[in-house]
């Protein structure tokens, strides 16, 4: 049995639209106020560092309670816990420096 399904056109990766919008805004910022680009890079670095630190702090504090290693019932709470730890680290770094 040969079903002739229409071929799907290839889709762009997720978040492509937002990546393009971000690039356009950064180019606009570079044209209007190029001295602000290092500040934007610094802030993006702090957010990224906060996310990475939060993830590793959660792994260190709760080594046996990772979201993918707990019971199915507790999985949502483990994910929320990790999100809150990451959020706290991001806020701590971005607001404190």
14 is a domain residue: no
Domain count, the chain: 1
54 is a domain residue: yes
Distances from the Cα of 17 to the Cα of 11, 21, 35, 43, angstroms:
12, 6, 26, 22
| Token duo for residue 83 | 């999100």
Residues in the chain predicted with pLDDT less than 70, given as ranges, are: 1-3, 97
Number of residues in the chain:
97
39 is a domain residue: yes
User: What is the structure's pLDDT at 32?
Assistant: 96
Q: Which of 11, 7, 40, 8 is nearest to 25 (CA)?
A: 40
User: What is the structure's pLDDT at 11?
Assistant: 86
User: What is the structure's pLDDT at 37?
Assistant: 93
10 is a domain residue: no
11 is a domain residue: no
Range of the domain at 71: 35-96
- CA-to-CA distance for 13 and 10, rounded, in angstroms? 9
42 is a domain residue: yes
52 is a domain residue: yes
Q: Mean pLDDT of all residues in the chain?
A: 91
User: What is the structure's pLDDT at 1?
Assistant: 57
User: What is the structure's pLDDT at 4?
Assistant: 73
| pTM for the structure as a whole | 0.75
- CA-to-CA distance for 49 and 44, rounded, in angstroms? 9
24 is a domain residue: no
- CA-to-CA distance for 44 and 92, rounded, in angstroms? 14
- CA-to-CA distance for 60 and 54, rounded, in angstroms? 10
User: What is the structure's pLDDT at 3?
Assistant: 66
User: What is the structure's pLDDT at 8?
Assistant: 82
């Amino acid at each position: 049995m040969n079903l002739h399904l229409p071929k799907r056109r290839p889709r762009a990766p997720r978040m492509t639209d937002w990546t393009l919008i971000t690039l356009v805004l950064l180019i606009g910022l570079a044209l209007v106020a190029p001295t602000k680009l290092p500040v934007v890079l610094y802030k993006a670095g702090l957010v990224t560092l906060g996310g990475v630190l939060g993830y590793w702090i959660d792994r260190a504090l709760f080594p046996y309670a990772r979201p993918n290693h707990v019971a199915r019932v507790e999985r949502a709470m483990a994910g929320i816990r990790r999100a809150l730890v990451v959020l706290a680290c991001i806020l701590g770094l971005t607001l404190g420096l």
